[in-house]
Structure 1
Amino acid sequence: MVIRKEHALALLRVREEELNNAPACQLFMKSEEPPYLELERMNLLRMVRPLEYSLTYWGRALANIIDEMVSKGLIEHPSKWDEDFRWLGSEVIMMIETAIENGDVPGPLTEEELKKRGFVEEKKVEKKGTVVVINQYAKDVYDIFKNAHPRLIIDRELCQYIKEMPAGPAESSMLPAGGRFPILMGAMRLLAFSVPTSDVYALTALGQEIKKACECLAPTYETVISEDIMDSLARVIDEGVEALTDEEKEVLMALAYIDGEGNILPAGEHLLEAYRIWKERCFRPVKSINVEILDAELLKAIREVWKHHESDPSVMPTVDELVHYMFYKPLKDYKHLIQHYGRRLYQDLGYQKKEEIMKKFSEVKTAEELFKSFYEKGNKWYEKMYDIVQESLYTLESFNLIRAEEKEGKKVHYLTEYGEKVLEDMEKRGIREIPAVAVKAITLTNKEFASPNVDWYRKAVDAQLVGGGEATEAGKMYAQMAYEIRRLPHITRFELQVLHKIPERGFFVKDVYEQFDETWKEEVEYALNKLEARGYIDILQNEAIVLTEAGKLIKRALSGTPEGFANPITPLAVRVLEALRKVGTLYEKEKKVRVLPKNFAEAMKLSGLDPESFEKELIVLRASNLIGKNSINEAGLLILEALEKLN
């Protein structure tokens, strides 16, 4: 949906003709028609006959909104707008949508742009004072957007433009010159731009499938994609090619959607997926994944230790062995890990010791020496090293990159197929961080009409997930992985502290930072990154933060957890919870699952853990108030419910 000056004037013109009881608005010249055709694609106008247009229900509603807002002085009359001013567009729709998701509060990033368009007002809120919120007109416009089903018609010329353009995400300057094609694509919701201004573009989920179809079809007719063509193709699947008329068969064959026997060709496959998205308007949720540098190094360490196991069967990737591998190697081999180790030391020792810690990096030769320098007095240096490795292993398992299993009475770690893929990428393109928002820059395009903001786009470029105007091979791999992995809940002590600060809505990234001393900004940023990747929060394009359904459950379940635990919930503990539920009996009235003592041995087998690890996770679960002596309590059941939501 795109409304510029010419579109608004066209709507008002057709509305005026309608008020004068004219059957339709008749144009005098073909050169007048482009904005009318674009409005017809938006389902705001209906073509009565060539060069004659009338309002649809939703077009009339939007024309009335413009007229009313002008009369109330919220916006100037469209005749006074700049020619290129986009009163509505994908970026404006997203500004409104993110405000609605955030309790109507647009926030500082988008407030001014919405104000220019007459979509905000001041509201008094208890305990908050006067707050700027979106007004009813913004909500009415969004309602029109959600209900006005766009048309989908692609001619040969537009098909060629779509075929040649980069799919995005990309900077808007990379769009090839195409006259009105970008506007026409926006009208059909094939192309979206970033919030708050259109600095970055991306093809939508519908646009991506249309592009794939355009790259495979044979442009033998003036119109290569239309609703009639899609309907005919769908009937081939539902009823068989025999259900088509000879003319319909000829069109589908000539455009290379089907072969002579009625088999669906590649162009047809992509058009059918586009048809499904267009007709059902069913869009995938936005998911992400995060890999820190230490996580990547541990994947490499696990594989190396298993190689060593081939010559020495006593060596296996237990936590102790991985600690030995990671911390006894020369620090110069792990220069890229200094930032991670530094953050962990700052968190424990305080940021006031930052200079002292950084000085120590230049003096010591191994990570072991570094940790001994700060923890030797309490003789806790090995414990700290162990905790760092174990926490990263928990993170890797929570993202289904590794799996801990019992072998010869020990807990050892195996790479999953996804862990192998991540390690292959790291070895091919270099060890680097994969931020959650960088992956989200790609998966966000699965929404109906959205493009990533500039910061996410740049992070994706830096992580080599986006380049050359579209997602790279690595970007596509991480984006696909974000949807395929089975997630297990995990949260660290600091992440839980951050989560507890975030209400369900009405909060922004800057508000989270304000809850902590400014020296903790880096830690908070990493915590938000992890919480987003875990699926507990959703950071919107206007930098608002809303809790997901899973996040609400996790927060509620861990509300009574003591703050002293490094990992209040671990993926291994969740595996134990799942196993206990399988061998227990649910008592709905009590909101408990009771487990007979004799069934704990069976639960241990089902969890896949060794006895020592199983007992340790039971201790964590009891200390976190998720289970009692012989039962899963309500908080534990909330964790299991969150597990279902995440997957």
Structure 2
Amino acid sequence: MLIKKEHAVALYNVLGEENKGTHCQISVAAEREPYNELNLANLLEMGSSKVEFRLSYWGRNLVYLLDEMIQNGKLDIPANWKEGYRWIGSETIAMIEAAMKNGGFVGPVAEEALTERGFAEKVRDEHCGECTKLNDYAEALYDIYLHSHPKLEITQNLANFIVSMPEGPAEKNGLDYEGREAELLESMRLLSYSVPNTDIFSLNRLGKAVKNAITHMAYPYDAVISEDYLHVLAYYLDNGFEALNDKEKELMESLALIDAEGKLLPGGEALEEVLHILREQAYLPARTFDLEALDVEILRGIDEVMKRHESNPEVLPAPEEIRHYLLDLPLKEYKAVKEHYGRRLNEDMGYQKKEELKKKFAEALTVEELFKSFYEKGNHWLEKLMDVIEESLMTLKSFSLVEAKLSEDGKLYYDMTPEGRLVFEEQKEKGFREISAPAVKAITIRESEFGAPNLEWYEAAKAEHLVGGGAPTHSGEIYADLAYNVERKPHITRFELQILHKLPERGYFVESLYEDFDPTLKEEVTYGLNKLEARGFVELLPDGGVVVTEAGHLIKRALSGTPESFGNALNPLVVRVLDALHEVGNLYVKERKVRILPKNIKEAIKISGLDPETFNKALTVARNAKFIGHTSINEAGLDILEAYELLNS
């Protein structure tokens, strides 16, 4: 939906003509474009003549809404708007939707833009004091948006433009055009702009599907894709080739949708995806992925130890061997990794150590000396380093990048999964670096209906070499694919749990979260939020809001009784044990428990694929965290398994 000054004026023109008892007559060709765009947006309907328009049901509602807002002093009359003013665009709807996810509270990024458009206002709230919330006009507009389904009409000229344009994400100045092609695409909801100021554009999931279809289709007619073509394709898919009449068969063959025998060609398969998205509104949530510097270094360590394994079969990448690998590296090679160590140590020791920690990094020559400088007594420095390694291994396991295996002699070690090997090879080729959740989300947001990232997300994606040349790079496509297809196993660190516990149901923002922690921990909070979003527990909204997901609510409830000092109470090994016990147990629905007979524990160990020692350690953690009673999985444990299923549905 797109309403600029010229569209608002056009709507009023049609309303004025209808009030006189006639339809709006358009005689100047240059004036037709706004009317055509409103027609595609399903806000105008075409009359018997191609230069005759009338308001659709939803267009009439929109004009009445605009008129009421003007009457109540929320907006000036359209004639006084500056040229090119965007009252409603994809970015406006995206900001309204973000606020609606957050209980109607408008984030700091969108406050000015929505207030100026008349869709938000300052209120007093018992939880947040003075804050900005959506008003009734915003809800009315969103209802119009949801129900005014646009039309899809792609002409040859527009098809050529789509094929030549970058699919995004890209900066707005990269959308090089002289006509109104971008307005047409936005009116049909194929093109989205970033909030709040349309700095970045991108084709959304439907827009990308349309582009893919027209690159495989023939253009024998002026219309390349139309509602009529889609109806014929739908009839063919539902009833088969023989059900088509000769004219329909000829149409589909000439468009290169089917061959002479009636089998779908690549163009037909691509247009079928367009039809599927339109029919089912088959957009995807913007999932993401996150890889910190130490996670990357652990993958390198596993690879190095496995190379040694080839000449010495007794050497396997167990945590002790990975620790040796890290200790052998001089600190000067840790330009990025040292920051990760800094975060982990600072979370452990408290705020006052941060400056001292930075100084130690500058002084120390090796990782070993760094840890010794903080843990000089009782060899605790070695234990802390092992904790850091174990936590990173759990993170890698939670994203299915590494897996625990048993050697022939029953020794537990870690190896990369195919996905982990893919990540490692990409890092080795493109440079070892962090991959942040915002950078990946800059790409995956294109799978949603509002497919443009924030400027901040886009800049992160550029810096990490995930986008370039107006589209995702090969690396970007790898991490975007992982965001949707990798199996997630619930995991949360001590610090991430602290963050999750602070998040209320609704009406919360990233800036509020920073204020709830010591200012020196802003970097740690940012990394924690990124990880929580990559895990699927929270969603960071484009207006600066943060909300807990359905899976996040289950995890939060399951861990409500777990002390924040309990590190890694929920980790992939615990989930593996819970899942195995669930398989051998008996569900008691009324009590919401799964009872496990002692004789079935051996079977659970076998199903888990863990050695008895590792299984029993994880079982002890699960009991201490109150996920398991003496003989049963309790409600908290079942919440975790439900979240596990949700994360991978």
Tell me the TM-score range normalised by the shorter chain. over 0.9
Specify the alignment match of 1:597 in structure 2: 598
Specify the alignment match of 2:58 in structure 1: 58
Specify the alignment match of 1:45 in structure 2: 44
SS in structure 2 opposite 1:224?
strand
Matches within 5 A, 1:459-538: 459-538=460-539
Larger deviation: 376-385 or 485-494?
Answer: 376-385
Specify the alignment match of 1:223 in structure 2: 223
Specify the alignment match of 1:644 in structure 2: 645
1:461-482 CA-partner distances (Å, limit 9, x unpaired): 1111111101111111111111
- Deviation, 1:566, is 1.7
Larger deviation: 196-205 or 259-268?
Answer: 259-268
- Deviation, 1:191, is 0.3
Specify the alignment match of 1:117 in structure 2: 117
SS in structure 2 opposite 1:54?
strand
Q: Is the 8 A contact 2:25 2:53 kept in 1?
A: yes
Matches within 5 A, 1:376-395: 376-395=376-395
Matches within 5 A, 1:330-369: 330-369=330-369
Q: Which amino acid aligns with 1:114?
A: L
- Deviation, 1:486, is 1.2
Matches within 5 A, 1:438-457: 438-457=439-458
Specify the alignment match of 2:629 in structure 1: 628
Q: Is the 8 A contact 2:437 2:534 kept in 1?
A: yes
1:39-83 CA-partner distances (Å, limit 9, x unpaired): 000001110121001111101100111111111111001111111
| Residue 347 to residue 129, structure 1, CA distance change in 2 (3 Å) | closer
- Deviation, 1:415, is 1.1
Specify the alignment match of 1:607 in structure 2: 608
Q: Is the 8 A contact 2:347 2:495 kept in 1?
A: no
Q: Determine the C-alpha separation between the residues in 2 that align with 1:231 and 1:171.
A: 36
**Is residue 2:136 matched to residue 1:136?**
yes
**Is residue 2:31 matched to residue 1:32?**
yes
Q: Determine the C-alpha separation between the residues in 2 that align with 1:267 and 1:462.
A: 35
Q: Is the 8 A contact 2:205 2:451 kept in 1?
A: no
Specify the alignment match of 2:271 in structure 1: 271
Specify the alignment match of 1:545 in structure 2: 546
Q: Which amino acid aligns with 1:305?
A: V
Q: Is the 8 A contact 1:405 1:610 kept in 2?
A: no
Q: Is the 8 A contact 1:409 1:611 kept in 2?
A: no
1:438-480 CA-partner distances (Å, limit 9, x unpaired): 1111111111133110000111111111111011111111111
Matches within 5 A, 1:565-584: 565-584=566-585
Q: Which amino acid aligns with 1:596?
A: L
- Deviation, 1:176, is 1.5
Specify the alignment match of 1:166 in structure 2: 166
Larger deviation: 601-610 or 37-46?
Answer: 601-610
Q: Which amino acid aligns with 2:450?
A: F
Q: Determine the C-alpha separation between the residues in 2 that align with 1:335 and 1:448.
A: 39
Q: Is the 8 A contact 2:351 2:518 kept in 1?
A: no
Larger deviation: 585-594 or 189-198?
Answer: 585-594
- Deviation, 1:105, is 1.0
SS in structure 2 opposite 1:50?
coil
Q: Determine the C-alpha separation between the residues in 2 that align with 1:66 and 1:425.
A: 51
Identity %: 52
SS in structure 2 opposite 1:103?
coil
Q: Which amino acid aligns with 1:631?
A: S
Larger deviation: 293-302 or 191-200?
Answer: 293-302
Q: Determine the C-alpha separation between the residues in 1 that align with 2:557 and 2:413.
A: 32
SS in structure 1 opposite 2:429?
helix
Q: Determine the C-alpha separation between the residues in 1 that align with 2:516 and 2:289.
A: 25
- Deviation, 1:367, is 1.0
SS in structure 2 opposite 1:315?
coil
1:478-534 CA-partner distances (Å, limit 9, x unpaired): 111111111100000010001000112100000000001100111101100100100
1:89-144 CA-partner distances (Å, limit 9, x unpaired): 00000111111111111122111111111111333322433332111111111111
Q: Determine the C-alpha separation between the residues in 2 that align with 1:623 and 1:272.
A: 52
Q: Is the 8 A contact 1:94 1:450 kept in 2?
A: no
Matches within 5 A, 1:387-426: 387-407=387-407, 408-426=409-427
| Residue 136 to residue 487, structure 1, CA distance change in 2 (3 Å) | same
1:230-277 CA-partner distances (Å, limit 9, x unpaired): 222233333222322322222322222222222222222211101111
SS in structure 2 opposite 1:218?
coil
Instruction: Give runs of ≥4 in structure 1 deviating > 4 Å.
Output: none
**Is residue 2:214 matched to residue 1:214?**
yes
Q: Which amino acid aligns with 1:496?
A: L
Specify the alignment match of 2:85 in structure 1: 85
Q: Which runs of 5+ in 1 are unaligned?
A: none
Specify the alignment match of 2:620 in structure 1: 619
Q: Which amino acid aligns with 1:51?
A: V
1:574-628 CA-partner distances (Å, limit 9, x unpaired): 0000001111111122221111111111111111111121111111111111111
SS in structure 1 opposite 2:132?
strand
**Is residue 2:13 matched to residue 1:16?**
no
Larger deviation: 298-307 or 416-425?
Answer: 298-307
Q: Is the 8 A contact 1:161 1:178 kept in 2?
A: no
- Deviation, 1:20, is 2.9
**Is residue 2:316 matched to residue 1:329?**
no
Q: Determine the C-alpha separation between the residues in 2 that align with 1:199 and 1:170.
A: 9
SS in structure 2 opposite 1:316?
coil
SS in structure 2 opposite 1:507?
coil
1:518-571 CA-partner distances (Å, limit 9, x unpaired): 001111011001001000000000010010000001011101002222212001
Q: Determine the C-alpha separation between the residues in 1 that align with 2:315 and 2:260.
A: 61
Q: Which amino acid aligns with 2:603?
A: E
- Deviation, 1:361, is 2.8
Q: TM-score, normalised by structure 1?
A: 0.98
1:342-370 CA-partner distances (Å, limit 9, x unpaired): 22222233343334333333443321121
Q: Which runs of 5+ in 2 are unaligned?
A: none
Q: Determine the C-alpha separation between the residues in 2 that align with 1:29 and 1:241.
A: 44
Q: Which amino acid aligns with 2:458?
A: Y
Q: Is the 8 A contact 2:493 2:568 kept in 1?
A: yes
Q: Determine the C-alpha separation between the residues in 1 that align with 2:218 and 2:620.
A: 64
Q: Determine the C-alpha separation between the residues in 2 that align with 1:481 and 1:450.
A: 18
Q: Which amino acid aligns with 2:621?
A: V
**Is residue 2:301 matched to residue 1:283?**
no
Q: Is the 8 A contact 1:292 1:433 kept in 2?
A: yes
What is the root-mean-square deviation in Å for CA atoms of aligned residues? 1.4
1:166-197 CA-partner distances (Å, limit 9, x unpaired): 00001111112141000000000010000011
Q: TM-score, normalised by structure 2?
A: 0.97
- Deviation, 1:637, is 0.8
Q: Determine the C-alpha separation between the residues in 1 that align with 2:578 and 2:431.
A: 37
Q: Determine the C-alpha separation between the residues in 2 that align with 1:224 and 1:251.
A: 11
SS in structure 1 opposite 2:130?
strand
